[in-house]
Amino acid sequence: MRRNKDRVLVVAVICLVSLLSLRAGLSAQNAPPSQTTKHMVPDNPSEHTPPTQPIPYSHKKHLSFGLECKNCHTNPEPGKLMTFPATSKCMECHVTIAKDTPSIQKLAEYAKSKQPIPWVRVYTVLPGVAWNHRAHLQAGVKCETCHGQVSQMDSMSEVTSVTTMYSCLNCHELNHAKTACDTCHKH
């Protein structure tokens, strides 16, 4: 049965990924504790229904296999973006896993057409404001501090207020990072 074959594959994927994360976990234990307190960004007080995405991708489901953020989101030069994964990344598993479901057939069509999947953006900073991920990752700020408990999200929505000036400034003050206007507003 196809379903059974899928299940075997799912189990195989889980085993492989848990082995990898076990190794990562062991080396993480030797890492020194973080020196600075990074402030949790306040929740988004306004309505934040998840946008309808072209494919119903679930972070909760995929992270439960032990995949890590960096498997799909990288931070290439000059460090501003975290980028979205290439469709070929998804197809590493989905050439076989759940390949007969409507959403994976749609995924396969995107892969075949070589067009990137038009994901609807969730977090966006006002154009013109100086922003980059790298300065924050280098300062040891965790993804979850700004984007919430991603591993619990079936669909991604703007759960925090990180894109507001108040949240930027508040965390900068608490961490003694720069707060002069021209840190974020260049002329």
According to CB under 6 A, which residues from 121 to 180 bind ligand HEC?
Answer: 121-126, 129-131, 133, 135-137, 139, 141, 143, 145-147, 150-151, 156, 162-165, 167-169, 171-172, 175, 177-179
44 or 104: CB nearest ligand HEC: 104
Question: How far apart are alpha carbons 164 and 129 in whole angstroms?
Answer: 11
Token digits of residue 174: 């608490």
Choice from 72, 99, 108, 134 touching ligand HEC (CB under 6 A): 72
Number of neighbours of residue 141 by Cβ within 10 angstroms:
20
Interface with ligand HEC (CB under 6 A), residue from 48, 97, 108, 134: 97
Please identify, using beta-carbon distances, which residue of 44 and 141 lies nearer to ligand HEC.
141
Closest CA to 168 of 113, 120, 130: 130
Give, as ranges, the residues between 19 and 58 that touch ligand HEC (CB under 6 A).
38-39, 41, 53, 55-57
The distance from CA 160 to its chain's CA centroid, rounded to whole angstroms, is 14
Residue matched to tokens 């600075």: 36
Shortest CB 40 distance to ligand HEC, Å: 7
Residues in Cβ contact with 99 at an 8 Å cutoff, skipping those fewer than 6 apart: 105, 108
Per CB under 6 A, the list member of 13, 42, 60, 108 interacting with ligand HEC is 13
Q: Which is nearer to ligand HEC, 48 or 119 (CB)?
A: 119
Please report how close the Cβ of residue 31 comes to ligand HEC at its closest, in angstroms.
16
Rule CB under 6 A: is residue 90 a binding residue for ligand HEC?
Answer: yes
30 versus 124: smaller Cβ distance to ligand HEC = 124
Nearest to 155 by CA among 74, 60, 67: 60
What is the Cα 176 distance to its own chain's centre?
26
- Angle, CA of 77, 54 and 156, to the nearest 5°: 65
All residues at 6 or more sequence positions from 47 whose CB lies less than 8 Å from its CB, including other chains: none
Q: Which CB, 48 or 122, lies closer to ligand HEC?
A: 122
